[in-house]
Amino acid sequence: MLHLTFRPLVLGIAGALLCTCPAVAHVTFETAQAAAGSPYKGVLGIGHGCEGSPTTAIRVRIPEGIVAVKPMPKPGWKLEVVTGKYPKTYNVGHGVTLSEGVTEISWSGGNLPEAFYDEFVFTATIAADLKPGQAVYFPTVQQCEKDVHRWIEVPGAGSAGRSQGGAGADHGEPAPVLRIMAPTRQH
């Protein structure tokens, strides 16, 4: 795609032209903040492919403190999860405690053309001990027919957090981020 060879200004214009609304230019959450200790619905919007190539798989790593994850099946896509032990036991309310759960979700075998937009959804509980103001990152790999976007970059992670190669190597591939808010008061 043309805009890879140009600097930010052209990229912005190309991005806006490609995506119906700039908000979904990269892979981001529809609701990018949630209160500690509360339920959360994560909606990841996919507003473009890899330099024009259709998206065929989305894989999301679930960070620490995001528990009781349940992904939403998507017709035409194969849904798989990886489960694992949590670093500690979490109280998710209603007297339920969890010490393991989903740590990775993948939707694959689909085909989302560049011209269309789609969403990949899961529900979860935000651990009560996450700190207000904390940023929680969800490294996400967007596989396309040709090429891949690794939305895995985390600010301050230096080159280690910078994606090597792939479609977006020269304009940054920030990981989808969720900002933790103060717990809401239980009435």
- Under the rule (CB under 5 A), what is the footprint of Cu ion? 25-26
How far apart are CB 26 and Cu ion at their closest, in Å? 4
Our CB check for Cu ion shows the closer of 103 and 150 to be 150
How far apart are CB 48 and Cu ion at their closest, in Å? 6
Tokens of 75: 């017709």
How far apart are CB 49 and Cu ion at their closest, in Å? 10
Q: Contact at 8 Å (CB) between 82 and 103?
A: yes
Our CB check for Cu ion shows the closer of 25 and 135 to be 25
CA dihedral for 45, 46, 48, 50, sign (positive or negative): positive
Tokens of 33: 């903040």
Our CB check for Cu ion shows the closer of 25 and 169 to be 25
Beta-carbon count within 10 A of 55 CB: 25
Our CB check for Cu ion shows the closer of 18 and 180 to be 18
Q: Contact at 8 Å (CB) between 99 and 170?
A: no
